[in-house]
Homo-oligomer: A and B are copies of this chain.
């Protein structure tokens, strides 16, 4: 563990397929914990945990409405991911040429 960074949470939150499904569902409109849990047959408690993770990553915002909790997509943190991916992609492009050269060199060598 190098050091804590918000982007950790973002990537971590996105790494779970259940949570990506939740985000996709919320992309079609707000939903309660029950509504999010129902399709997968997960318990409310389990889904609540996922929603919490998404909330901490600021990918989702929730509002308690009566006895239900309405969940919506949140606006933030995606910039972190986007920025990182862009930087990374740039690095890849810069490296690819050298990598190709290296492959060509090592190809000729005995292993």
Contact = CB atoms under 8 A, between A and B. Distances in A.
Contacts of A8: 15-17
Contacts of A87: 27
Interface in A1-35: 1-5, 7-8, 11-12, 14-18, 20-21, 23-24, 26-30
A5 B30 contact: no
Given A24-B91, A29-B98, A73-B96, 14 more contacts: A8-B15, A11-B11, A11-B14, A14-B15, A27-B94, A63-B106, A64-B111, A65-B109, A72-B99, A72-B102, A73-B88, A75-B96, A81-B85, A82-B89
8 contacts: A15-B15, A24-B91, A27-B87, A28-B91, A29-B95, A30-B99, A64-B111, A85-B85
